[in-house]
Amino acid sequence: MKKIIAANWKMNKDRAQSRAAAEELASGLAGRKAERTVMIFPPFLSIAEVSKALGGCADTVVGAQNFYPAESGAYTGEISLAMLADAGASWVLVGHSERRHILHESDVFLAQKTQFALSRNFGVVFCIGETLEERESGKLADVLTRQISQGLSAVFDMPSNLLQEKLIIAYEPVWAIGTGKVAGDREVLEAHAKVKEILAAQPGDLSILPVLYGGSVKPANAQALLALANVDGLLVGGASLEAKSFLNIINA
């Protein structure tokens, strides 16, 4: 399985900045062996710019950080999958901790979003992870079990080949996102093993799904994280904003 390196630009970069970063990435990716899948999740307004710049890069896809699970309608401020596809996106993030904890998206709503996206042939990077309080109180397994069993409940009856091609899990301990703290090797291995165990226990056995690690990933720690036996790739935040930094992670 190819390692997956995904970039979440969050609410950063205007169109010109996004285009410049994407063009620098494209230059760095040109002629490479397609040994890793690269995913870029820019802000909505930059998706078309980034998609155009990266159009010639092998095994590179562009996605969106959010969407609303309806074809169209009176959903002020929201964006549809059709609009995102028109801009060049083919994947979406669902369940990122900032959507869960700042925007209060529930497991039920995340299940609806995941099913809707997959049924429209969009790929989904489904994010899970615990807060520091939950980890320190011994609730890691309970939190991950709830997030997976409820958040993916609407896709259990979907064809396994579709899920294998279009669904990725990203484990991001909330306490490590943007804090500079990174889970240690043992913590990552244990958490990913638990995620795989929970996925295997779901209807249809979802343990085949790739599981990425996210949370203060940088060029300095990317190689060590990717070397861990059950880490299938990385979801990168701040360190993906500079093309040189992100290329170093891709090539780690």
How many Å apart are CA 188 and CA 7, to the nearest integer? 19
Kindly calculate the radius of gyration of the chain based on its CA atoms and give it in whole angstroms. 17
Q: CA angle, 4 as apex, 103 and 35 as ends, to 5°?
A: 160
Non-local (6+) Cβ contacts of 65 within 8 A are 8, 9, 10, 41, 42, 43, 44, 92, 93, 96
List 49, 98, 130, 172, catalytic entry: 172
Task: Tell me the Ramachandran region of residue 80: left when phi exceeds 0, alpha when psi lies from -120 to 50, beta otherwise.
Answer: beta
Catalytic, 49? Answer no
The Cα–Cα gap between 25 and 28 comes to 5
Active site residue 172: yes
Contact 60, 41 (CB under 8 A): no
Among residues 96, 105, 130, 192, the one annotated as catalytic is 96
Active site residues: 96, 172
